[in-house]
Amino acid sequence: MANIISIGTALPENCHPQHEILHFMQKAYKLDETEARKLAFLYRHSDIKQRYSVIEDFGKPGEQWEFVQVNGHGNPTLNERMKIFHQYALSLSVDAINDCINNIIDAIEITHLITVSCTGMSAPGLDLEVAEALNLSPNVFRTSVNFMGCYAAIHALKIAKMICDSTSGANVVIVCTELCTIHFQQEYTLDNASSSLLFGDGSAAVLVSNNISSSKSLKLKSFYSEVAYRGKTDMSWQLSNDGFLMTLSAYVPQLIKEDIKCFVHKALIATNLEQDAITHWCIHPGGRKILEVIQTKLGLTDQQLSYSKDVLSEFGNMSSPTILFILKQMQQELNGASANVFGVAFGPGLTMETFIASKE
Q: Alpha helix locations (H) across the chain?
A: 18-28, 33-44, 78-101, 126-133, 152-166, 190-198, 252-269, 288-298, 306-315, 322-332
Sequence-separated (6 or more) residues with CB below 8 Å from residue 40? 22, 26
Interstrand relation of 218-227 and 235-240 (parallel, antiparallel or unpaired): unpaired
pLDDT band at 73 (very low <50, low <70, confident <90, very high): low
End of a domain among 179, 209, 239? 209
Measured between alpha carbons, how far is 29 from 355 in angstroms, rounded to an integer? 39
For residues 109 and 136, state if they share a domain.
yes
Quick check: 203 and 94 in contact, CB under 8 A?
no
Average pLDDT value over all residues in the chain: 91
> Could you report the per-residue pLDDT of 282-326, keeping only the tens digit for each?
999 999 999 999 999 999 999 999 999 999 999 999 999 999 999
Residue 192: pLDDT above 70? yes
Measured between alpha carbons, how far is 15 from 56 in angstroms, rounded to an integer? 9
For residues 235 and 273, state if they share a domain.
yes
Residue 199: pLDDT above 70? yes
For residues 191 and 87, state if they share a domain.
yes
For residues 72 and 204, state if they share a domain.
yes
CATH number at residue 352: 3.40.47.10
For residues 97 and 142, state if they share a domain.
yes
pLDDT of residue 74: 63
Residue 231: pLDDT above 70? no
For residues 188 and 252, state if they share a domain.
no
| SS3 state of residue 321 | coil
Quick check: 9 and 330 in contact, CB under 8 A?
no
Task: Give the total number of structural domains in the chain.
Answer: 2
Report the share of the chain in percent with pLDDT over 90.
Answer: 71
For residues 201 and 222, state if they share a domain.
no
Residue 71: pLDDT above 50? no
Residue 131: pLDDT above 90? yes
What is the chain's alpha carbon radius of gyration, rounded to the nearest angstrom?
20
Evaluated on CA atoms 283, 289, 294, 300, the torsion sign reads: positive
For residues 124 and 11, state if they share a domain.
yes
Task: Provide the domain limits for residue 277.
Answer: 218-359
End of a domain among 209, 237, 266? 209
pLDDT band at 84 (very low <50, low <70, confident <90, very high): very high
**Cβ neighbours around 141 below 10 Å, total:** 14
Residue of 269, 268, 252 whose CA lies nearest to 343: 268
Helix axes 288-298, 306-315, angle to 10 degrees: 180
For residues 355 and 230, state if they share a domain.
yes
| SS3 state of residue 331 | helix
For residues 269 and 313, state if they share a domain.
yes
Interstrand relation of 218-227 and 351-359 (parallel, antiparallel or unpaired): antiparallel
pLDDT of residue 349: 79
pLDDT of residue 305: 97
Mean pLDDT of 220-240: 81
Q: Partners of 125 in the beta sheet?
A: none
For residues 60 and 159, state if they share a domain.
yes
| SS3 state of residue 299 | coil
- Amino acid, single-letter form, for residue 238: Q
For residues 109 and 225, state if they share a domain.
no
**Cβ neighbours around 87 below 10 Å, total:** 12
pLDDT of residue 229: 82
Residue 43: pLDDT above 50? yes
Q: What is the dihedral of CA 31, 37, 38, 41, to 10 degrees?
A: 140
Quick check: 97 and 131 in contact, CB under 8 A?
no
End of a domain among 209, 229, 264? 209
pLDDT band at 234 (very low <50, low <70, confident <90, very high): low
